[in-house]
Amino acid sequence: MTTSQPAGVSEADLEHLFDRTIADDARIEPRDWMPDGYRKTLIRQVAQHAHSEIIGMQPEGNWLTRAPSLRRKAILMAKVQDEAGHGLYLYSAAETLGADRVDLTVKLIEGKQKYSSIFNYPTLTYADVGTIGWLVDGAAICNQVPLCRSSFGPYARAMIRVCKEESFHQRQGYELLATMMRGTDEQRAMVQESVNRWWWPALMMFGPPDDKSPNTEQSMQWKIKRHTNDELRQRFVDMSMPQAKALGVTFPDPDLAWNEERGSYDFGEPDWNEFTEVITGNGAANAERIANRRAAHEDGVWVREAAMAFAARNEETN
């Protein structure tokens, strides 16, 4: 039992009500009774999602000081700030489940909670800013649009705004790459090289294959997740192929081919050993990302203390 249980109402009744709410496709709200496993799963996923947004500011933020024009700098700055906002909505959603945001951040920097594998790859050229917008935000949209129908109200509602902003991010990435593709041979080569590096990691964002995904079945029963990892990965491949053709780039996968029978693209297998290495902390940029996050958290102590003192004084005087 983790939520208030009205006198005279048995746990079995509450569980029945929870099951009916899920079956009716209605929303579970923070005040409602929920099984401990449901709460735990949501805190895990929402916290991981929040951490991803915040850590995800780093790869692109790396290029803020070297944007090729004032216009590109303003666009990039706005995008990176949007990601901070997404992190904040999501930490707030996690707080409605009883989690504490400082505690979640400490778990992240101590390596006890994960964040998306994708942010452990370095950004080597400005084309990476475009590729992240196009493919990484594109994959995020594929994954997150169904989460707008997630059974937990605060998470689903946060996703609506996040998805609107991610759609804009995706378009700005595509527009940046399209501009480069209309440029010089060197710029076109830079785009293709960037797409070659990000394609497989983007496919890995959807998580392990369904037969190796321990959480999917239960999360789908609870309607936290609406599709399996492989279903969404397929949707992303199908969505990206026409865009790649329009852009004039290719994906580094010899097995990519239209399958008339399935009405979908066949594609190769990502390197799941690499994925395991990355999510266990051994990717190219894991140490740097966490060191930066730790430094920001430590540098921010005085800000948090000042805000708390201000809030306490306001409470005293009101």
Structure tokens at 155: 């998470």
Using rule CB under 6 A, residue 116 touches ligand BYC:
yes
Q: b vs e for 138-148, b when ≥16 Cβ sit within 10 Å of the residue's Cβ? A: bbbbbbbbbbb
> What does the longest C-alpha to C-alpha distance in the chain come to?
74
Using rule CB under 6 A, residue 279 touches ligand BYC:
yes
| Span from 51-59, 174-182, 288-296, 302-310 in contact with ligand BYC (CB under 6 A) | 51-59
| Span from 91-99, 202-210, 235-243, 293-301 in contact with ligand BYC (CB under 6 A) | 202-210
Q: How far apart are CA 296 and CA 182, in angstroms?
A: 39
CB of 49 to ligand BYC, least distance (A): 4
SS3 278: helix
CB of 284 to ligand BYC, least distance (A): 14
Residues 122-161 that bind ligand BYC (CB under 6 A): 132, 136-137, 140, 143
Q: How far, in Å, are 23, 31, 82, 154, 247 from residue 128 at the CA level?
A: 43, 43, 18, 32, 15
**DSSP bridge partners of 34:** none
Using rule CB under 6 A, residue 49 touches ligand BYC:
yes
- Taking the alpha carbons at both ends of the chain, their separation in whole angstroms is 35
Using rule CB under 6 A, residue 207 touches ligand BYC:
yes
CB of 312 to ligand BYC, least distance (A): 33
Of residues 135 and 190, the one with the C-beta less far from ligand BYC: 135
Binding positions for ligand BYC, rule: CB under 6 A: 44-45, 48-49, 52-53, 56, 83, 114, 116-117, 132, 136-137, 140, 143, 204-208, 213-216, 219, 225, 229, 279
